[in-house]
Chain A
Amino acid sequence: RKTGIAHSRFTHGNVFVTITDFEGNARAQASAGMCGFKGSHRDSKFAANAVAEQAARGAAQLGMKAVEVRLKGGFGVGKRKYLLRGFKQGGLTVLKIRDVTAIPFNGCRPPKKRRV
């Protein structure tokens, strides 16, 4: 019961963290909107930090000590470091870091290129 998995998902405008145990039952959950950020601020590094900290606090209250972090989402590259710090600030040790972004073996056609 002392270790779990912290699933963190980075989307285009938001960051979610849900901490579960090894079977997948959720223990604590936090998102950027829950941490008081609104609108485009939810997409920032500080929001990622706050989300991790909030989720970690929730899980630590339930007795969790350490987590394995799973990072999902290609939009998170600028925020991952701040997220990992946030876990520590919330009171959880980070055991392992794993990237579980879904990468196809070349399946669906991606959207067309942006013209900037």
Chain B
Amino acid sequence: CMAHPRRIKMVAQQIRREVGEMLIKDKVLMQAILPEAALGADLYLSSVTTISDVEISRDLQVAKIYISVFGDERGKEIAIEGLKSREKYVRMQLGKRMKLRLTPEVRFIADDSFERGARVIKLLDRLKEEAERKERGETIPDRSDDEDSDFDDDDEEIIFVE
């Protein structure tokens, strides 16, 4: 049976709030996304996970939680895998924290939309710049070696700046 659309939105927001809080405060989840937290080395984070979006089905049975991770490739994989292995735990916690007749099945999905969007914006900016330069009659610099600066800022390497 279909719930009222406003209720769907509210439940989705509440799930987002709860899971967001759990990602910070819950020891089990933190160890899932950052294995070094289990060793106690959780002061400096090597990757930051973010809930991009929560979509819930019309009958409030399935909740899809889109996760994006900031950090290097390995950190991303570890975080997403860790969360996926804890789906049932998250479902149980949601059931404890929220008063719902039937707790939705939780699915974690990796979300790359921001990277893709940022890449598209960068390309568009580059095209615009090249068009402007052409208008002004300047030569177009060779941009083929421009780094894809999406994942530059991981802190596995600590950069010392004097």
Contact = CB atoms under 8 A, between A and B. Distances in A.
Interface string A74-98: 1101111110110110000111111
Interface stretch (A18-26, A30-38, A108-116): A108-116
B162 interface: yes
Overall SS of chain B's interface? mixed
A78 to B, nearest CB: 5
A19 B68 CA distance: 25
Interface residues on A, range: 20 to 34
Nearest to A3: B161
Interface residues on B, range: 35 or more
A27 interface: no
Given A2-B162, A98-B45, A116-B98, 4 more contacts: A79-B50, A82-B50, A87-B153, A97-B44
Interface of A: 2-3, 45, 65-66, 71, 74-75, 77-82, 84-85, 87-88, 93-99, 101, 103, 113-116
